[in-house]
Chains A and B, each alone.
Chain A
């Protein structure tokens, strides 16, 4: 995974709360493989009309937000379904950071697992950043080391869980880390089997109950 340190990029304001994962990636596109790419269908039903033409007044379609790598939104971004494809859609489109006052828990976790920074700011700062991007240049800087966001008019701090920050800064993958704890896991299984004998499923004798 590509490490995230500092990013200066075009940022797109989306002045909406609760942009759920069904909006980010409508369910009918979930059959796609990653190789096909999810970028073209990011926010599909908000970006395009019924005939598939881009809606001119949707912020991501406006020329000043072309090549956006940051989205600023209102609270509860990414609520709803656990579909990681919602993050694939953002990442494949080119988004590397979403700034909002709160995120769906599963979405935030999925983001970090794909190198996308979910930066949590206060409601007041989110409104300030949305105003800056709407009335001023569509560009900002995100510094993960310092946990700071800067526009031409303001500098605000953001929150991210320490372990997630470390993971993003280093581009770490969880599976390798976990496999390095193999001995601790084996010891846990040994103790747990004695402690909770009932926790293993009781497999019925036959796979087919009709036989």
Chain B
């Protein structure tokens, strides 16, 4: 540390390393961007730079990934829907015209951008990472500043490899203590969101800290940081440590050999200084976290599976009461109903939140030797995750249980590739948003961990996975 310098947070250190010194920004800073991921939805931005007669300034730092519109079934036969096919083709054309590296539909490394970036070693500690997708916060799991941006900003990064940003405040979320068996990163994340609310971290960069977080695998940290946006945070971060370095060593796009060791030296200096000050602190006890599900239409409408559905009468805040009324009406639920009595019509395991190998293993551990009472789709987060899961025999467990084993993509999380939950149906889902109509018009979504989705599949209603795991843990 430079003598006399104020103690700094992880966020401050990464932020300051990316500041381009300019005078006239006012409350906005000009930031250098290390990695820019583009996908099918980036067509507006490519159109904007084309209109200006410009090309991508730094194709070497820009990576295209087909994920939002790709089919999860029969992709070798091409895409039947013309409008959807056009979205994938446009990405191919735009990346080719700008010399941008593409993980296209049939690339053996294709997958969801927030799964592939880390998996390929493109995401590293200390980087700034942006993408026209709000769940870009995922990449913060490595100690990177990673956040979602809109099309105008995507165009700005394509043309300049920089971005104007106001420095967010810093929030530290500390979770201490061992979690109980059956409790995963998703339960930790939903507990945090339920605590601070869906806009509780607006304008803030979150750093997740404490022994519970340190004990998480990279997969778990990715799930946790992924959901940062659901409490409104600009980004979420975990300080890099041995878990991070072990994950990265040998990844294709990561530095290798001496270059890697040199990088680790720099990365070891990134964690927050011991006396660094945060604008807000939130503390949770890991041992008190239990399997959790959402009942409403906001990710903050989350409760332990052992609870009952709340009603508008339980709050004196008129806005909150009206939200509960609206949410229950849409979800077709009654106040006071036991959460574990809520019957479901289907399940979905996938999305940038919970589709990594560890997620699939957790779901398979519950489903092994059992049959699902409802139909469902399992979509691995990348083609590499799919390959690994098949090598471990997980695909057979899902198929034997009666679930469909698909290809990777955003799939039923956002429903724009054609994988939708039919109107009025209730889906237990490992995804990130239970917004009205998110999984398709009229679809009713309950968010939970992969193990909890598997438990719901086995019983046909929301279920405390701990009961099904007795004797299996």
Binding site for B on A (CB under 8 A): 15-18, 20, 22-23, 26-28, 30-31, 33-34, 45, 50, 74-76, 79-85, 87, 102-106, 109-110, 113-114, 123, 161-163, 166, 174-175, 177-179, 181, 184-185, 188-189, 192, 195-204, 207, 209-210
Q: A34-B47, A174-B164 are in contact. List 16 more A-B contacts (CB 8 A).
A: A23-B437, A31-B84, A31-B87, A45-B437, A50-B441, A75-B319, A79-B232, A82-B134, A85-B151, A104-B232, A181-B22, A184-B21, A199-B34, A201-B35, A201-B122, A209-B108
Cα–Cα, bound, A27→B416 (Å): 7
A31 — which chain B residues lie within 8 A by C-beta? 83-84, 86-87, 416
| Closest beta carbon of chain A to B76's beta carbon, Å | 16
A162 — which chain B residues lie within 8 A by C-beta? 26-27
Residue B436 at the chain A interface, CB threshold 8 Å: yes
B307 — which chain A residues lie within 8 A by C-beta? none
Q: List 9 A-B contacts (CB under 8 A).
A: A18-B199, A31-B87, A76-B202, A83-B41, A162-B26, A184-B20, A188-B20, A202-B256, A210-B108
Q: Which of B35, B101, B133, B260 contacts A207 (CB 8 A)?
A: B101
Residue B323 at the chain A interface, CB threshold 8 Å: yes
- Contact check, A80 vs B433: say whether CB atoms are below 8 A apart: yes
Q: Considering the complex, give the chain B residue whose CB is closest to the CB of A111.
A: B150
Among A79, A185, A192, find the residue whose CB has the most chain B CB atoms closer than 10 A.
Answer: A79
Q: Considering the complex, give the chain A residue whose CB is closest to the CB of B136.
A: A82
Q: Contact mask B356-388 → A, CB, 8 Å, 1/0?
A: 000000000000000000000000000000000
A185 — which chain B residues lie within 8 A by C-beta? 20, 30, 32, 160-162
B87 — which chain A residues lie within 8 A by C-beta? 31
B132 — which chain A residues lie within 8 A by C-beta? 82, 84
- Contact check, A196 vs B152: say whether CB atoms are below 8 A apart: no
- Contact check, B298 vs A192: say whether CB atoms are below 8 A apart: no
For chain B, residues 122 to 155, give those with C-beta under 8 angstroms from any C-beta of chain A: 122, 124, 126-127, 132-134, 147-153, 155
Cα–Cα, bound, A30→B326 (Å): 26
| Closest beta carbon of chain B to A201's beta carbon, Å | 5
| Closest beta carbon of chain A to B13's beta carbon, Å | 12
- Contact check, A161 vs B27: say whether CB atoms are below 8 A apart: yes
A195 — which chain B residues lie within 8 A by C-beta? 17
A161 — which chain B residues lie within 8 A by C-beta? 27-28, 166
Residue B96 at the chain A interface, CB threshold 8 Å: no
- Contact check, A34 vs B162: say whether CB atoms are below 8 A apart: no
- Contact check, A178 vs B30: say whether CB atoms are below 8 A apart: yes
Stretch at the interface among B247-255, B284-292, B452-460: B247-255
B22 — which chain A residues lie within 8 A by C-beta? 181, 184
- Contact check, A113 vs B150: say whether CB atoms are below 8 A apart: yes
Cα–Cα, bound, A103→B256 (Å): 42
- Contact check, B259 vs A198: say whether CB atoms are below 8 A apart: yes
Q: Contact mask B266-284 → A, CB, 8 Å, 1/0?
A: 1000000000000000000
